[in-house]
Structures are given as C-alpha cells and as structure tokens.
Chain A
Amino acid sequence: MATLSVCQPQLGGFSFENCKRNAVLEAEVTKLGCNVPSARKTGTTICGVVFKDGIVLGADTRATEGMIVADKNCSKIHYISPNIYCCGAGTAADTEMTTQIISSNLELHSLSTSRLPRVATANRMLKQMLFRYQGHIGAALVLGGVDCNGPHLYSIYPHGSTDKLPYVTMGSGSLAAMAVFEDRYKQDMEEEDAKRLVRDAIAAGIFNDLGSGSNIDLCVITKGRVDYLRPHDMANKKGVRSQRLIRPVYAVTGNYKYKQGTTGVLTKSVIKLDLEVVEETVQTMDTS
C-alpha cells in the first residue's frame, strides 16, 4: 500500500489541498475565454407563514445551473424531524447536506433527551454551523415547525444570522413573494387561507422571477400532523403532444402528418427512365 511520510495522522473534514490548483486553473481558463463550471443553485422562491394552529411552508421546484434549468421538479422542502421541516435556497448541494447533517444531529439529540426536538434547537445548530464556515456554505433556509411551545418560524442566512418572524421569504423570488405577504397577511389565519396565501406568494415568485418556476410544493405542519403536498399546484404545465390512434397503439411521438386524401389529386403522369448497364463487377466478401 502506498504510504505518506507524515508525522501525524490525517483528520477528516474539508480538505483545502486543491484550492491553489483550482485558483491557477481558473485563471488559465478565463484567460482563454471559457467559463469554469458553476455549482447548481436553486435560485428560488421559498416562504413560510405562521397561522392559527401551525406553520405553512411553500417552495417552487426549479433548480438552475447558470442559465439552464437543471431540474424541473426538485424538492426544496427538506425533512429535519417529524415536527420540523426546512426549505432551502442557495447552492443545492449545500442546503441538502446541511439539512441532512442537522437532521441527524437533532435525531441523536432527541434520542438522548427523549423529547420531541424544538425548533429553537434546530435553529441554534444551523446558525452555529453556518457561522463556523463564514458564509462559504451558501445555504439560505426557512425553518419552521411546531413543538411543545407552539409554532415557530425562522429564516437563516448563509452567514449565520437568523430572524424569528411570523412570515418570511427567501431566494431570488423573495421580493415578489414578500409583496404578496405584506398585502394579505393577517394574524391567526385559518389553514385554508394560509395555504392560499402561500400558494399565491410562490406563484408570484414563479411568474415574476426567472430563477423560480415549475410547480408549487406546500408543507402544512400542525401539532401531531404534517401534510406534505407535492405538488400542491402545477403552475407551469408542459404542453401535451398531439396524438393519433394508429392501430390499437398510441404513437409515442406526436404525429403531425395530414391524412391520405386531404389534398385532391388533379393529374398523374409516370415517366420511365432508361438506364443502360455499363459495367458489372462481382466483389467477393472475405467471410473466413
């Protein structure tokens, strides 16, 4: 086995060995005029609102990679614990890994305390981790859940600051969604009103922001019940190809040909072309 001549054993965690090499590569590539591949972001609209009995979280479902839609139906509402869910905006991998790590930690913590975890605990864990990495982990999160103290909603920014508010929006479409919230939010709404409000806020983000699109996912959390509605509303349906019944089987690709006989035939003339044989050769194939 190959050996490293080191004095102390290797530690786990992030390794910064390739940072200098990456910086040099990036400089070379931009000199040639090409672009370094960028991380997949979720340029998003996510939002949450506190209503009478609990929390409604909403998110769109588009993931972008630069100017291209990388995933038309990605799931942005992540599970943290049975009573706590978290929407994530920013770099897709960062939100995914961060929420999974915090979910594992919270599970271990709740096993050790034998209590249902609190939203404030998840908030504190997330904010301490994001601050430790000084914003290099690009995860902007909307954390919501119902615990023994009632419903709580937090927004967590990539550098580690948090806000505890009755309604929050994050992502590139946050301004559009916030406009809807500011107009129609009331304290102690009913569940249906809250769902309609969140749906309209996300729809505002989808239709007015390039980075958000496709469907609307909702997650309704109340004491003892979680409704994960995916998709709650398909705002952007793809067009359906026109189909025609050919024998009993439907054509997979749309058939846009006209029927035989659509155009009437007026005259028909057949001209035979005379071809004379000039040379005839036989080439044997090597089949051995």
Chain B
Amino acid sequence: MNIFLILSCLNSLRQLQCSVPKATMFFHISAGIFMTGGMCAPVIPLSLAKNTRGLRSQLKDSVPVTGMGPQVGAYGVQDTLRSGFSSVKNELLPSHALELSEKNFQLNQDKMNFSNLRNIQGLHAPLKLQMEYRAARQIQRLPFLQSSHLALDTLKGNDESISFEDILNDPAQSEMMGEPHIMVEYKLGMM
C-alpha cells in the first residue's frame, strides 16, 4: 500500500546481497528495516513511512542538501571527537564561491531531473528510477574500500561521460584511507 514499506522490504532483501563479512550480517539485517542503504542516505523510520506527503517533500528527505554550518552530533552539540574543533569563521562562509554549489551539484541535478520526469511521465517514473538507484547503490564493498559502483554508474549514465570528478582527486588514488571502524559504524547507523 505504501511505497516506503515496499522500498524498505526490498532494501532488506538487497542488503543480503551486499558483500560484507558474515559477522556483520546480523547488524545489516537488523538495521535493514531502518536503513535505506547507500552512502549518504538518512534513516527513515517506519513510523514516518505512513505519512502521505507530496513527492516534493519526500524528495527533500531522500536527497539531503548539506550546507555550511556546525556539525551537529548526538545531543545537539558539536561532536569534537569526530569532526574536530570548530571555528565559526570557517563554517559561516564557504572558502570559495563554487564550494557549496559543487558539493551539491549532483544532488541538485537529480532533483531537477526527477521533478521534470514527474511532470512529463507521471509519478511512477521517478519513483521507479529512485528505487533502482537505491538498489544499485547498495552493491558495494565495505565503505572504506574502493568500490567500482558499476551498476550505479550505468544507471546514471556516468559510464558514457568524463568530467573533473574522474580526472582530479581520484579517490582510488588517494594516499589516505578512511578509518574503517568509524566508517562502518556510520554506515550501519550505530554512530
């Protein structure tokens, strides 16, 4: 009846196909009902799924646009342990005119394309596409390892284009690795 219920069931099914070691399978299954998978997706609890809202506000939830601002951790205060010391001057203004627009570029493009698609082809088209994106986004290795995201790239059409994201600052060749425990905890929503 409700699309989010269907989505979350599908996600828990898809979680099992994710290539994670057996020890963390338990956490995946239990978190599957709450998590919507992927790198930058927020937690949508079942209770909210019963809300009947328009597509625009649902898109807003599923496509988080982060801006400058203090990093709020648990209890609503600065999480110094994880995000370092804060400085108002650094966080109020972006250091370059393009910083914010580049950070959110892909998200804004997706938002625009989905709303265009909804207006032209109806509600089902963007919903089905988003469902496929979420499914493809879960086909990956552990978060700190390099995954090819082949399915997601093919769906989005990134396999037929080259841009600065592929040439500059290639994360596959970065000299620093993400801290494994923190990244897995964040992904499982335990942090």
A interface residues, Cβ below 8 angstroms from B: 1-16, 19-20, 23, 97, 101, 104-105, 108-109, 112, 129, 132-134, 136
Contact = CB atoms under 8 A, between A and B. Distances in A.
Contact of A6 (B165, B167, B170, B183): B183
Provide the main secondary structure of the chain A interface.
loop
Interface in B23-42: 39-40
Nearest to B180: A3
Interface stretch (B112-120, B124-132, B155-163): B155-163
A4 B176 contact: yes
A10 B169 contact: yes
B119 to A, nearest CB: 21
A133 B96 CA distance: 11
B166 to A, nearest CB: 6
Contacts, number: 103
B178 interface: yes
B105 A10 contact: no
B82 A7 contact: yes
A6 B96 CA distance: 22
B89 to A, nearest CB: 9
A166 to B, nearest CB: 31
Nearest to B89: A20
A104 B162 contact: yes
B155 to A, nearest CB: 15
Interface string B136-176: 00000001100000000000000011111111111100111
Nearest to B140: A9
Given A6-B183, A8-B183, A105-B162, 11 more contacts: A2-B175, A3-B176, A4-B176, A6-B179, A7-B82, A13-B163, A16-B102, A19-B95, A97-B167, A105-B163, A134-B98
